Structure 1
Amino acid sequence: MKFNIKDTFTKELPADPILENYRRQVNACFSYVSPKKTSKPVLVHASHEMVEELGMEEKDLCSEVFLDIFSGNAIYPDTQPYAMCYGGHQFGNWAGQLGDGRAINLFETTHNNKHWALQLKGAGETPYSRTADGLAVLRSSIREYLCSEAMFHLGVPTTRALSICETGDKVLRDILYTGNPEYEKGAVVCRVAPSFLRFGNFEILMAREDKETLQTLADYTIKHFFPHIQSGSKEGYLLFLKEVTERTLEMIIHWQRVGFVHGVMNTDNMSILGLTIDYGPYGWLEGYDEGWTPNTTDRQHKRYRYGNQINIGLWNLYRLANALYPLIDETAPVEAVLKGYQDAYQQQYLSMMKSKIGLFEKDARDIALINTLEENLQLTETDMTIFFRNLADIKKDKAVTDDFLSVVIEAFYAPQELDENVRETWKHWFVSYVARLRQERLSDLERQQKMNAVNPKYVLRNYMAQLAIEAADKGDYSVIEELYQLLKAPYSEQEEKVKWFAKRPEWARNKPGCSMLSCSS
């Protein structure tokens, strides 16, 4: 197993001069720190795609070297692991220094002209761990591992995952913050991305009025990840902000398309590259509900609810713009960039929603059609994934008769709630929808293919992840493998796996891990 090491972060950015690993305020971009050794590591699963992406071979997965490095028990030769320093706004409030409290970056490597940073999550304490232990449990690690790979195959910008290992150690966790912690199996995930830089890396430097390091970090980021931009000028930093804004919007539009709710969109969880990062209390919409959040911490105010994600994206970008302002020093162009986000969202969201219902011609009435659809989906509990996937089976030359709901009936959790008023409301929409479909030049088959390419059949529902977790807790990793393979082709029919194309079972409605999740999840 050999990597082409190309460390840039530690070579080009200022390091913490203190090498001891204790909690403290750090006036640097990172601190050197080594992973905590584990007692009896076991490889739970590895992504064969990422093995190939990183230039490894399948046989490497069976080696002791692989297990030692990616469980934290060994350091790859001639590398120095480190934790990043950053700040952030959490639930709308400035939280000061945060940093990699349970993540340790191993090294950077290149393969096939791609640059990757490898990071262990749950590998022990760092100077940024605050009052926590820096560890992770098997439960949350499985959720992170499966979700990052699932999101990639859905076409959503995301960090990836290479492997997940049990550590053989026990970790004390209070999953729902009830005051009743329990010991759980410890685990470590190896996360992979071009970079794990966040909005908060820039925010902490602005908060400390360290313009010199802020410019150094901005120049570094532009050089390596936005090389088409000329750094060192106000215009360059403004273009940098503009591109981050565009990437962030693209990411959130994808979230809305597949029904993904991040759950904790703090600025320290926002990737500067527009990648979905930090999979904690996430979830997919089961019943379509714009007010739903999977995060118990957010239950009261619902700041990070599904219908508010796009607004939070903009709020976070304002915080990033404020952090970069010392380098731009002009208000009007910054405001124009942020205004561009708002304008682009309206257009991109409409285009995305039209693609979900198979409309590709221009028609001014489409906005009203989509608005009504979103209202109707909340008349009674309606599964988002099943509804949009099955909607593709509508035939535009078929009249809207009394059985008009038969195509999407499987999406309703309580069909008995479809009383006369609800059915009449839906029928009015379907009459308008079918009439609109007749304006499309595509055949039913062509439209169905296009709709099925944007409406997944399979997503990682929380109950599915929970089944994998419960099996793994008993030493059975087969459900992880089954879901991993399923989610590699989320838009394909996969008829032999159709059991996973189903509404959330009733037993999962209020079960911890399926409906109620915390930042410990």
Structure 2
Amino acid sequence: MSSPTLSIAPVDQVTFHNSLVDELRGEVAPNKLPRQVPGYHYSRIDPTPVRDPHLLAWADDLAAYLGLSCPSERGPAVDALAGNLVTDSMKPFAARYGGHQFGNWAGQLGDGRAISLGEVKATDGSNWEIQLKGAGPTPYSRRADGRAVLRSSLREFLCSEAMHYLGVPTTRALSLVATGDEVVRDMFYDGNARPEPGAIVARVAPTFVRFGSFQILTSLGEIDNLRTLADYIIRQYYPELGAPSPEVYLRWFEEVSRRTAVMVAHWMSVGFVHGVMNTDNMSILGLTIDYGPYGWLEPYDPDWTPNTTDFGSRRYAFGQQTNVALWNLFQLARTLTPLVTTDVQELNKGLDVYRTTLAETQQYMMLRKLGLTAQNGDEDRALLDSLTDALAETQVDMTIFFRQLSHAAYRLLSATDHAIQPLFDELWSAASYPELGTEQEALQHWFGRYAARLRQETVGAEAVRDDMLGVNPKYVLRNYLAQQAIEAAETGDVSVLNRLMDVLKTPYAEQPEHDDLAAKRPAWASTKPGCATLSCSS
């Protein structure tokens, strides 16, 4: 059966569908004042108009898939993407959810600055929700203003798309719109609040339902609402599991656990650090969601977190992400116990699925990053373990190390043993940070073991190199690159943003004319705000 073909139209002229609003229990918000909203899944609420919406950036590939045409800088389509225009088929809403934040139950949270317009049908017939982040206050805004600044919106726009092109399960971003308004923010919560340019990012996903969407319902004894939400998610997004039932709820939790494991394994493979893995930031579809104080591992440090709010405990550091995801899944399992009429211990199978899937996926991905395909069992596991130890000890640049290793592997397969040292010296020179030290013994020893193991491969050198280059990106969205794009955009120059976006669409290609975007983090960026660390403020 061929996929349906849809005409390309501006976003203000497409027909929106509203399955979540139509099938779940919601209220029509009487006003935009913050309050508790018991008994509902969402609140119907319109975005708050902005002064001068104008388009800054547009995701062409995603738009084509959604059947949307690129709008002009100003006009009705941009008005819709800024929340100034609500069309007849839209049913805007803010979702209600709770969550554990930094390990502590926070109660009701909800979409405090995100308002979903509804769903559009993509060219393959699937439905995708469009959500405006920074669209104004909702009943869930608590003490905030419901707005977002340009710096955080640009970062979310770029990273959503960059992660997609890396092959990481993720939500997407369609547009970045400047609002013409200023938003006051205290970037590091240090008493230095200042006005910043405002912006709205239109982010896209099949659904933005998250672990916390279920948690808030169980925590308040809203079991009917819990079951209704679970049934909706299974019917809409997990139909292959069958009609909802206690047995299907168990299989569904196992699948959520599997998808979460695959997502986190992808993060670890490319050095992505989410920065704020609260349960309300965990997608029920296993997608990377809510790009806030994220970062990319540059010097390899398992204890590194980009989030200044997390400096005390480093709960969400790079090396903790696999454990935190498991903890979050455990909280979801506890939430789902009212739906399971058999032994609730059966939910533990989902946690086992996470552990097994994570271990298998991580090993598979790491072996591919090393160009190893033959099965050597314990030897390979030991090689991988010693690599992570060596990387942590030497703190080389993760992205550059694996990219350079891809080229070194090609030469190793045709080199004699005496060529190993020059190849390692080249690798070290490219990937090390001299300011962090010159101790290289552990990594050098590992490289010798790797060279011997690599020569056990039976495939050709070119095949090994090409496969490694296909999984070891040359370009990732380093924080200092995003910061440069932000600073330029704040002056009205979006050329830096556009160039970065174009390069990140093909992160595994050499693109030698853009080598500067693959460079190590400059020394000046190690302490500059926005380049090394960020806060949750946006």
TM-score computed with the length of structure 2 as normaliser: 0.94
- Establish whether residue 186 from structure 1 lines up as the match of residue 168 from structure 2: no
Deviation (angstroms), 1:375? 1.3
Letter in 2 for 1:289: D
String of CA shifts for 1:293-348, please: whole Å, max 9, x gaps.
Answer: 10000011000010110111110001111111100142231112212211232222
Tell me the distance in 1 between the aligned counterparts of 2:33 and 2:436.
Answer: 59
Find the counterpart in structure 2 of residue 351 from structure 1.
Answer: 364
The correspondence for 1:411, drawn from 423, 431, 434, is 431
- Establish whether residue 10 from structure 1 lines up as the match of residue 24 from structure 2: no
- Establish whether residue 107 from structure 1 lines up as the match of residue 118 from structure 2: yes
Find the counterpart in structure 1 of residue 489 from structure 2.
Answer: 472
Partner secondary structure for residue 26 of structure 2: coil
Contact 1:231 1:237 in 2 (8 A): no
The correspondence for 1:311, drawn from 323, 345, 349, is 323
Give 1:351-500 correspondences, 5 Å limit: 351-363=364-376, 364-394=378-408, 395-398=412-415, 399-400=417-418, 401-408=420-427, 409-414=429-434, 417-419=437-439, 422-423=440-441, 425-500=442-517
Give 1:251-266 correspondences, 5 Å limit: 251-266=263-278
The correspondence for 1:25, drawn from 22, 25, 36, is 36
Find the counterpart in structure 1 of residue 87 from structure 2.
Answer: 76
Letter in 2 for 1:403: P
Find the counterpart in structure 1 of residue 355 from structure 2.
Answer: 342
Higher alpha-carbon deviation: 405-414 or 469-478: 405-414
Contact 1:396 1:435 in 2 (8 A): no
Contact 1:19 1:31 in 2 (8 A): no
Deviation (angstroms), 1:500? 0.8
Tell me the distance in 2 between the aligned counterparts of 1:352 and 1:163.
Answer: 32
Letter in 1 for 2:139: P
String of CA shifts for 1:146-170, please: whole Å, max 9, x gaps.
Answer: 0000000000011111111111111
The correspondence for 2:214, drawn from 195, 202, 206, is 202
Partner secondary structure for residue 378 of structure 1: helix
Tell me the distance in 2 between the aligned counterparts of 1:13 and 1:427.
Answer: 58
Find the counterpart in structure 1 of residue 519 from structure 2.
Answer: 502
Letter in 2 for 1:445: E
Deviation (angstroms), 1:114? 1.6
Letter in 1 for 2:279: T
Find the counterpart in structure 1 of residue 6 from structure 2.
Answer: none
Contact 1:137 1:171 in 2 (8 A): yes
Find the counterpart in structure 2 of residue 95 from structure 1.
Answer: 106
Partner secondary structure for residue 293 of structure 1: coil
Contact 2:113 2:133 in 1 (8 A): yes
Contact 2:212 2:279 in 1 (8 A): yes
Letter in 1 for 2:355: Q
Higher alpha-carbon deviation: 3-12 or 149-158: 3-12
Tell me the distance in 2 between the aligned counterparts of 1:426 and 1:23.
Answer: 54
Tell me the distance in 2 between the aligned counterparts of 1:491 and 1:127.
Answer: 43
Higher alpha-carbon deviation: 447-456 or 63-72: 63-72
Tell me the distance in 2 between the aligned counterparts of 1:56 and 1:446.
Answer: 39
Deviation (angstroms), 1:17? 4.7
Deviation (angstroms), 1:406? 2.9
- Establish whether residue 151 from structure 1 lines up as the match of residue 163 from structure 2: yes
Contact 1:19 1:32 in 2 (8 A): no
Higher alpha-carbon deviation: 433-442 or 404-413: 404-413
Find the counterpart in structure 2 of residue 513 from structure 1.
Answer: 530
Q: CA 1:308 to 1:236, structure 2 compared with 1: closer, same or farther past 3 Å? A: same
Tell me the distance in 2 between the aligned counterparts of 1:99 and 1:374.
Answer: 38
Partner secondary structure for residue 101 of structure 1: coil
Letter in 2 for 1:480: L
Tell me the distance in 2 between the aligned counterparts of 1:115 and 1:156.
Answer: 20
Deviation (angstroms), 1:403? 2.0
Contact 1:259 1:385 in 2 (8 A): yes
Find the counterpart in structure 1 of residue 312 from structure 2.
Answer: 300
Partner secondary structure for residue 188 of structure 1: strand
Partner secondary structure for residue 452 of structure 2: helix
Letter in 2 for 1:468: A
Partner secondary structure for residue 350 of structure 2: helix
Tell me the distance in 1 between the aligned counterparts of 2:392 and 2:115.
Answer: 43
Deviation (angstroms), 1:427? 3.1
Tell me the distance in 1 between the aligned counterparts of 2:52 and 2:400.
Answer: 42
Find the counterpart in structure 1 of residue 244 from structure 2.
Answer: 232
Contact 2:56 2:73 in 1 (8 A): no
Partner secondary structure for residue 240 of structure 2: coil
String of CA shifts for 1:225-249, please: whole Å, max 9, x gaps.
Answer: 1111223311111111111111111
Unaligned runs of 5+ in 1: none
Letter in 2 for 1:442: V
Partner secondary structure for residue 66 of structure 1: helix
Tell me the distance in 2 between the aligned counterparts of 1:162 and 1:274.
Answer: 20
Letter in 2 for 1:75: V
Deviation (angstroms), 1:514? 0.6
Please identify runs of 4+ aligned residues in structure 1 that moved more than 6 A. Answer: none
Tell me the distance in 1 between the aligned counterparts of 2:421 and 2:33.
Answer: 69
Letter in 1 for 2:394: T
Deviation (angstroms), 1:368? 1.2
TM-score computed with the length of structure 1 as normaliser: 0.97
Contact 2:298 2:521 in 1 (8 A): yes
The correspondence for 1:85, drawn from 73, 96, 99, is 96
Letter in 2 for 1:110: K
Deviation (angstroms), 1:274? 0.6
String of CA shifts for 1:244-289, please: whole Å, max 9, x gaps.
Answer: 1111111000000110000000000000011100000000001011
Deviation (angstroms), 1:67? 1.2
Q: CA 1:13 to 1:416, structure 2 compared with 1: closer, same or farther past 3 Å? A: closer
Find the counterpart in structure 2 of residue 291 from structure 1.
Answer: 303
Equivalent pairs counted in the alignment come to 517
Partner secondary structure for residue 120 of structure 1: strand
Partner secondary structure for residue 34 of structure 1: coil
Partner secondary structure for residue 221 of structure 2: coil
